[in-house]
Amino acid sequence: MANIPSVKLNSGYSFPLIGYGTFGGVDAPQQVYEGTKFALKAGYRHIDTAFVYRTEDAVGKAIKESGIPREDIFITTKLTESFHRPEHVQTALELSLKNLGTDYVDLYLIHWPFATEFRGFDFLDKTTREERQKAHRIDVPIIDTWRAMEKLVEKGLVRSIGVSNFTIPLLEDLLSKATIPPAVNQVELHPYLAQSDLVEYSKEKGIVLTGYAPLGNPGMIGKFGAKIELLSQPLILKLAEKYKKEPGQVLLNFGLNRGYAVIPKSTNKSRIESNLVYFKMDQEDIDAIIDLDKEQTIRAFDPVTILGHEFKLF
């Protein structure tokens, strides 16, 4: 079994800091199924998905066939923006539970910090990306959605709840009103988007960050945002040589050494295995990587490109 570091969430549950991401598999569920099954065999125990990814079925099938006890696998999925009205939250989760073939999820996140019009629970089956982007924004206070999320915890359908793509002001507002504080905030984190203020704030508040796109976007360069090639970045190559590791391992451990989870996505078996390596880095090297953010701050995943909606994320 791989040596995967973990932390205890404010909900009391153990959270593996290296997870297997399944975004981008909409057009290739078989790849996600095979990748997830291999990841579990390799030692991953944290699988990240979302209703809108349309990979929950593939993930659920892989978990079932893995033979690994359900309680040993940490499953994260997410509430999509058109299901924010309180009356839709539990039904949305129940659809995800059915897809995943489980009676609870370990972590349920509000995927984006805004709501769009409800178009039915089957909208993904009849809505193109372009049509989804044209969905009207509606006014559903985050706290109203959060109250419905808290009820899921009370009913045992969810063990921990959290958010995704939330800024410090959004977290401040939620923390001032919530009964159950968010356990996790999943955001884009990599050397060109280090978000140091958010990292420090989250530590102070006991919220664990999960960094998506920790490698930039090598498999989808320019598809959802700016082109980010981190695997060939000179400093990363230099540090890979210093630590006798691969560039991707340096990038992932940059996040792990800063104290947050990373969820790399790959369908390559050797890459899936190599992404599971954990090692300590010198603070001076972590600081040097953070300084790359001062040269240029860019996003691999732009909400306007993905969702057709603009809002301030950093």
Quote the pLDDT of residue 136.
84
243 is catalytic: no
Listed residue (95, 74, 88) closest to 19, CA to CA: 74
Q: Which has the minimum average pLDDT: 112-116, 205-209, 265-269, 309-313?
A: 309-313
Dihedral of alpha carbons 68, 70, 73, 77, sign = positive
- 158-204 pLDDT per residue, tens: 999 999 999 999 999 999 999 999 999 999 999 999 999 999 999 99
Percentage of the chain modeled with pLDDT above 70: 88
Name the residue type at position 234: P
- 13-68 pLDDT per residue, tens: 999 999 999 987 556 788 999 999 999 999 999 999 999 999 999 999 999 999 99
Q: Which two tokens stand for residue 303?
A: 């909400």
Per-residue confidence at 295, pLDDT binned at 50, 70, 90?
Answer: low
What would the mean pLDDT of 237-256 be, rounded to a whole number?
Answer: 98
- Alpha-carbon radius of gyration of the chain: 18
CA distance 166 to 18: 21
- 92-121 pLDDT per residue, tens: 999 999 999 999 999 999 999 999 999 888
- 191-232 pLDDT per residue, tens: 999 999 999 999 999 999 999 999 987 665 555 566 778 999
Average pLDDT, the chain: 91
**Residue 235: exposure state from Cβ atoms within 10 A (0-12, 13-18, ≥19):** middle
Domains present along the chain, CATH in parentheses: 6-307 (3.20.20.100)
Q: Which of 20, 33, 53, 192 is catalytic?
A: 53
Global pTM reads 0.93
